[in-house]
Amino acid sequence: MVEIATLDGSRASLGAAEIAILRNNLRGGVILADDADYDGARRVWNGNVDRRPALIARCANAADVQHAVNFANQSGLLVSVRGGGHSAPGYGTNDGGMVIDLSPMKAINIDPDKRIARAEGGVLWRELDQATQAHGLATTGGTVSNTGVAGLTLGGGLGWLMGKHGATVDNLISADVVTADGTFRKASATEHPDLFWALRGGGGNFGVVTSLEYRLHPVSQVLGGLVLHPLDRAADMLRFYRDFCATLPDEAEAYAALLTSPEGVPMAAMVLGYNGPIEEGERVLAPARRFGQPVADLVGPMPYGARQTMLDAPNAEHGLHRYWRSAFTEQIADELIEVMVEGAARFSSPLSALFLFYLHGAITRVPAAETAFGARRAQWDFDAIGQWTEGSESATHIAWVREIWGRLEPHLQGSAYINHIAADDRPEKIRASFGENHRRLREIKAVYDKSNLFRVNSNIPPA
């Protein structure tokens, strides 16, 4: 007998015979709490998420996913879907329910002539980048290399190529999905176009995506790197940065961060990139590199794959403890800068950071109603990232984020990138973040997931 958490929040139990049926059906296998590999299998990227699902369905293919979804329906289990396991609130797991774990699904196929990639639902960005870069190709992907392609894509997909090639969803050609009734469907512009629209920004609300097909672009040698300033020049740097962003062509990206150097010194950084002819990039990025008196200028030519791992330390490390808050802003007000700099001077952990990611160019030129991802204005995605090593110190570091967030929030919008919304953000923030698209998303949710089986996410209630 295994005790389980059900969809309606009550407890129930599963008998050995029922579990044996699932075991027999799944090529990838089922892991239970008393299995030797349970502890490793239940962990996700955020060490502060310490949950104990009743069973983990390791899916080796789409048929396994169908069996897992059907089993969840029959037994009333609470369900989480895990792609790369990188969700900061830990939506890739739960307490007492089932995890549909796609991590064994790693197939990648590249058609270099047609410039198309197909990746299964357990692929990570570093795996897809490596496969596409072998052909001098890439699509817009996440800036930390072990983020899952599936979760990131379903929320929209921000990355170094978004100015030139749009969001990840703007490059999605089709997706294979197992919907809540266990049916396998292909979603594209011509097949289930309503589902395809919702998948491009609606998060994990509409089914389990087993495979994604992307449009690729020629991308090889790029410019990338950080320019670092001392924290006492951070305010000037951030004021320069906000004006500099307005000058960027589509090929360029500029993010900004307040963080702590490996030597333990709080710093201000501009994180720069250019995807195009290197000489032209040098010219475009020159004002940011000439500004003030940087203590280090680490910008230089590098393969795109290397730039994709530039922010990995310490952000890719599995098991560190994390707590994030996030919102969009169309302006970097002087008051925002003031709170940022003051907050960075009091970082409770050297691994914490305040980040501004700039959205501009191609990603902003798609009409907001064309995909479920509707954040189509030039703006910054602002992230207050709490990150620390010791679980016993969680209260201190979470308090630092919450305290500074209380003072940052009045200078930010009430909406956020859906993939960065915290579990303790108000439900109105989810609604506001989907904006005008929320009503249509609710209607499509009612068609494909009336019982809200897929609810461990930034949830869209069925209409």
Ligand X SMILES: Cc1cc2nc3c(=O)[nH]c(=O)nc-3n(C[C@H](O)[C@H](O)[C@H](O)COP(=O)(O)OP(=O)(O)OC[C@H]3O[C@@H](n4cnc5c(N)ncnc54)[C@H](O)[C@@H]3O)c2cc1C
Contacts to ligand X by CB under 6 A:
80-88, 91-92, 102, 121, 142-144, 147-148, 150-152, 154-155, 157-159, 203-204, 208-209, 315, 419, 457
Q: How far is the CB of 248 from ligand X (least distance, A)?
A: 17
412: DSSP letter: S
- Minimum gap (Å) between residue 184 Cβ and ligand X: 13
Closest to ligand X by CB, 161 or 341: 161
83 is written with which tokens?
Answer: 């792609």
* Pick from 187, 160, 161: nearest CA to 175: 187
370: CB partners within 8 A, 6+ apart: none
Cα–Cα distance for residue pair 192/63, rounded to 1 Å: 20
Q: Where are the beta strands (DSSP E) in 262-299?
A: 266-274, 296-297
Q: Shortest distance, CB of residue 335 to ligand X, whole angstroms? A: 27
| CB of 92 or CB of 294, closer to ligand X | 92
Q: Which is nearer to ligand X, 85 or 374 (CB)?
A: 85
Cβ proximity of 217 and 135 under 8 Å: no
Based on CB atoms, which residue is closest to ligand X, 80 or 437? 80
Residue of 374, 372, 373, 398 lying closest to 386 (CA atoms):
398
Cβ-closest position to ligand X: 151
**Cis bond upstream, residue 249 (ω within 30):** no
> C-beta of 104: minimal distance to ligand X in Å?
12
- The pair of three-digit structure tokens given for residue 42, joined into one six-digit string: 């239940």
CB of 154 to ligand X, least distance (A): 6
Shortest distance (Å) from residue 205 CB to ligand X: 8
Q: In the 8-state DSSP scheme, what is residue 6?
A: B
**Least distance to ligand X, CB of residue 197, Å:** 16
Q: For the chain, state the CA radius of gyration.
A: 22
Please name the amino acid found at residue 423. Answer: A
Beta carbons within 10 angstroms of residue 46's beta carbon? 23
**Eight-state DSSP code of residue 49:** -
Closest to ligand X by CB, 83 or 294: 83
Of 43 and 442, CB closest to ligand X: 43
Our CB check for ligand X shows the closer of 87 and 364 to be 87
Question: Min. distance of Cβ 152 from ligand X in angstroms?
Answer: 3
Q: Which is nearer to ligand X, 341 or 372 (CB)?
A: 372
CA distances from 395 to 135, 323, 348, 387, 430 (A): 47, 10, 11, 12, 25
